[in-house]
A = this chain, B = another copy of it.
Amino acid sequence: METPSTKSTLPLSEIAPIHHNHTEQNIANLIEAICGIDFSRDIDNCTSKSRTRHSPAKNDERPAAVLYPKTTAEVSKVVKACHERDIAVTSFGGGTSLGGALTATRGGICIDFKYMDKVVEVHEDDLDVVVQPNVGWVELNQMLEGKGLFFPPDPAPGAKIGGMIAMSCSGTNAYRYGTMKDWVISLTLVLADGTVVKTRNRPRKSSAGYDLTHLIIGSEGTLALVTEAVLKVTALPQNLHVGMASFGSLQDGVDVAVKILKSGHLLEAIEFLDGPSMGAIAQSGLIRETVEVAPTLFVKLAGSPQTVKEQMQFVAQLFSDHGANKVEFSHERRRIEAIWGVRKCLANALVTMKNDPSDLFLHTDAAVPISKMAELIHRSEKIVRGSAEGRNWFCASVGHVGDGNVHTAIICPQDAKGEAEKLLSGVQRLALELDGTITGEHGVGLKLTGLLADEVGDSGVDLMRKIKLALDPKCILNPDKVVRLEMDV
């Protein structure tokens, strides 16, 4: 690779070998160079920064040190020092990632954003806030509520803004409010060589050059680290109501969801859990509610009293037409929290379905155009349920049906890994066949690098790799995520 390529893409076969230097001496030298910045070399601490409950890592996949910078300047100092010493850099926020995006595959060091957790500015008139990366969306909304404001993206409750940007996340509000991509105005970045870039000021719109903000959203820490973000916020939904109903069949639940989507009524959220999901919740001990173990729709409504009344009548009629049981609508805060709490505890409830702690929790994140959603749910069900029958597997489907995003989950013994993964990969291919994506909101991480080319083509992956190498020529930022960097990794 001596003569610079004139190509627009970089195939895996043409990438030069990557050299990191993670010797003890080099790490010690780094720690010395960044004196004044807190760090930890405790093995348990280091290990905990490289995995989550939902994304395990191999035993030796951990950083050699965890660093705790407190400012953009300190992050820049750390990254620059790593760049000079060929040391890989992962980062850690809420630790809720699902696809291995924070695994320290090659060791190196981890930047824990723990101390960068401040809301820096709130501009009520401009409907924006300036925050550091370790602000949680739950805490941000608690703070905004008193001002009548609201930040919509709602992934796992522990998620932090930095990770939410990295993964281009969404959640149950995405059907109404869009995803993280729609809620970021600008970013302060630390690039792979330590350079600091602020992508924009605070105007609501700008055509000032390349959209660096959106290039970084969803780049999973592989192109830059985010040290500050300007986020849009909006008015808190008024007159909030929540509804819940269970159905005799999967078909009925899906039919009701599709009819709501096609009606033109714009609800706040529409979520769908299948029978096994509800069973997991019922058995989990995580909630006090008594729930039906049957396919269940959850809806949120808000707006003027007239709007909510019309929407509620429409939805209630559909529920009734499809023989729904245990229908409840409520606008009492306590009931809203209880009902939505049923939906929100699902991820934790599924984990309790393991027969053995070593069992695997595997899942997909397929999203398709709305018109194809019913087909995705039915055919996924067939693929998974058909093969799982008679085995000691637990299988469930949960849909952000408002935006066509469906998670299919399998919990199975470790020795069934290959087979279960093959089934889920069939579901992902089905999503592509239906003009959709292999990942609606969880990101590529380590898990989907192999499948990404099925979605965007080899040329799409090679273009991403070209961008990766341009911005991070030494491949120190979160290596091996999004695009593969070596033939045999």
Contact = CB atoms under 8 A, between A and B. Distances in A.
A456 B8 contact: no
Interface stretch (A166-174, A332-340, A356-364, A387-395): A166-174
Interface string A456-488: 110111111011011111100000001100000
Given A215-B214, A456-B197, A206 B437 contact: yes
A307 B304 CA distance: 9
Given A202-B369, A212-B463, A463-B471, A444 B207 contact: yes
A203 interface: yes
Copies in the complex: 2
Interface string A212-235: 101101110001100000000001
A246 interface: no
Contacts of A467: 210, 215, 467, 470-471
Identify whether the interface residues of A are mostly helix, strand, loop, or mixed.
Answer: loop
Contacts of A214: 181, 211, 214-215
A190 to B, nearest CB: 9
Contacts of A217: 211
Given A467-B470, A473-B4, A209 B200 contact: no
Nearest to A472: B8
A25 interface: no
A483 B204 contact: no
Interface of A: 1-2, 4-9, 83, 123, 125-128, 167-170, 174, 178-179, 181-182, 191-193, 195-212, 214-215, 217-219, 223-224, 235, 262, 264, 304, 306-307, 365, 367-371, 403-405, 431-432, 435-444, 448, 452, 455-457, 459-464, 466-467, 469-474, 482-483
B404 A203 contact: yes
B126 A370 contact: yes
Given A206-B367, A436-B202, A473-B7, A459 B211 contact: no
Contact of A201 (B83, B205, B432): B432
Contact of A193 (B6, B201, B235, B469): B6
Given A206-B437, A208-B455, 10 more contacts: A5-B473, A8-B195, A126-B371, A199-B456, A201-B437, A206-B439, A207-B437, A208-B456, A209-B452, A210-B482
